[in-house]
Amino acid sequence: RRSKLFCLYVLSTSTLKTKNVSLLSLSTTVCACARYLAGVRSFVPEQEMETRIIGGQEAWAHSWPWQVSLQLDSMPACGGAIISPLWVTSAAHCFIRHTKASLWTVLAGKHDLDNPEEPQQQVRLGSTVYNTQSKESDVALLKLEKPLEFNHFVRPIDIWMTPLPLLMKCTITGWGSTRENGPRVNRLQEVNVTILPSDDCNQYYLGRIRPSMFCAGKDEGGVDACQGDSGGPLSCFTGTRYELAGLVSWGVGCGRAKRPGVYTRVQEHAQWMSDTMGESDSGCDQTPGLAGLSLSADGVLSVVNVTESCPFFWPWQVSLQFNGRHYCSGALIHPHWVITAKHCGVRAKEDVAVLGLHDMKFLPVQTILIDKVFNPPQKAGFPPKSDLALLHLSVAARLGSEVSPVCVPEEDNSLDDTWSCITAGWGATKAKDGVDPDRLHHAGLTLVNESTCRHKWGGFITDTHICSHPAGSTSCMGDSGAPLFCQKHGTYFLFGVVTWGSWHCDSEKPAIFTSVSDYQSWINKMIIKF
């Protein structure tokens, strides 16, 4: 996805008090138009310590979630950094002798490489790409056979895109040797290093430092990467998160005086990386195609262009559940509030909102009790003018890359042909190409103008409804309460919630959504009141 933005509230990360717990722009961007927080450490120690790598220490378990181990025939060989669900970057020299991608696997989410009980994601490489534009380019892009699922243990990191300040302290991580010619270690190590002036480094290395490289360490030695750390990330803190500034490339010995580590300057390769990833992007990370209906030879109607979403692609999507069973979808609009359809019949103090969920078979990021349910005031009658419910959560959702609110449009924000709209949900669809009902799926929807919709539905349609292609209905997509979110200029807004419609997937009847923007004032009053 390109330049996607979400509403930004206070984004936080978890703090763990025990140590031994078992691009496509180049960034994924997250409505105050702030960047999505890639580069956020999941488990951060209460105090930063600098006391092996060379001269470092064991890292807090899972505290560098973009770090991966590149395994050659199941043996650790190099490090790397996650930059998207399908892409890892590392050093090109790791692959000089063993270029065949099928020999390599990526281990993500690991701390102790010898602990099989730790959470991990193991994915084979699909292909490797090298920057051949420069002979000094020690950088590789590694495309995975299948996308990683982002969670507290596995996250991407964005690329540092401004000049690196001299003498800035950054952190290198890896499972390499803790002394020169020593054995590799099993638990991830970290050490802080200082960005050194290029002129000084060029003197140390007799003019071999190119603009695509930089040096980091200490003039007197003692801190460095070593054998086995190659390709691993040098991560620098921006003040709010970490960004990828370098990749472990080369050096003389490990931790020697006046022989600092030399790193690939990732920023120099940013455009090549963006172009390469864009050319080879997979269907998982693209905006879905427009849904349509197809009639088979035996008269069975099915929906085309319903595809599985990438994990956490729509971080505002909420599963409403009772006794562990999903019955409706909703959308997070605030850390304390979820919107869904009134006809879902959500029960306060009984039902829960499940956030940060992709696959129903796996544990979610957060499960929160719903403590209050509110409906907009309206006159009795059928069909109801509004089919909205506003759900108050018993505790605030923890916001981050997997859980983030969607913007609610202003009342004067109207939809037209310049907007592109999507719906997403779980459940059994009428998809032509089978979609796992336990995994979040999505489809693009074309809008139907009000006059056409009134012609199909008669007096049931009011100015508080939005109509779309019939494929967007609950009977076609499989989920009640599913959101209709639309974007223009990169920003997504929640425009509707799927409501009543045809009892079966009907090519003649447009799907009906309750317009959220018509109730924006009421929503704001409720949020302020509570």
Q: Which of 142-156, 275-289, 372-386, 507-521 has the lowest mean pLDDT?
A: 275-289
Pick 287 or 104 by higher pLDDT: 104
Do 57-279 and 292-529 come out as alike in CATH topology?
Answer: yes
Coil, helix or strand for 278?
helix
Task: Give the separation between CA 137 and CA 134, rounded to whole angstroms.
Answer: 5
pLDDT score for 213: 92
Q: Which of 343, 392, 465, 469 is catalytic?
A: 343
Paired residues of 494 in beta bridges: 485
pLDDT digit string, tens, across residues 430-472: 665 667 788 898 988 989 888 889 888 887 888 888 988 887 7
Its CATH architecture, for the domain 292-529, is: Beta Barrel (2.40)
> What confidence category does residue 37 fall into, taking pLDDT thresholds of 50, 70 and 90?
very low
Name the residue ranges covered by the structural domains of the chain.
Answer: 57-279, 292-529
pLDDT over 60 (residue 125): yes
pLDDT over 90 (residue 171): yes
pLDDT digit string, tens, across residues 222-271: 776 776 688 999 999 988 789 999 999 988 888 788 889 999 999 999 88
Residues 6+ apart with CB under 8 A from 224: 53, 54, 55, 191, 193, 217, 251, 254, 255, 256, 260, 261
What CATH number does the domain located at 57-279 have? 2.40.10.10
- Classify the C-alpha dihedral 206-211-216-218 as positive or negative: positive
Does 111 qualify as catalytic in the annotation? Answer: no
DSSP assignment string, 491-529: EEEEEEEE----SS--TTS-EEEEESGGGHHHHHHHHHH
- Residue 476's Cβ-side half-sphere holds a number of Cα atoms within 13 Å equal to 36
CB 214 within 8 A of CB 195: yes
Does 387 qualify as catalytic in the annotation? Answer: yes
Does 224 qualify as catalytic in the annotation? Answer: no
Q: Which of 387, 468, 469, 475 is catalytic?
A: 387
Q: Which of 25, 63, 302, 480 is catalytic?
A: 480
pLDDT score for 150: 80
How does DSSP classify residue 431? B
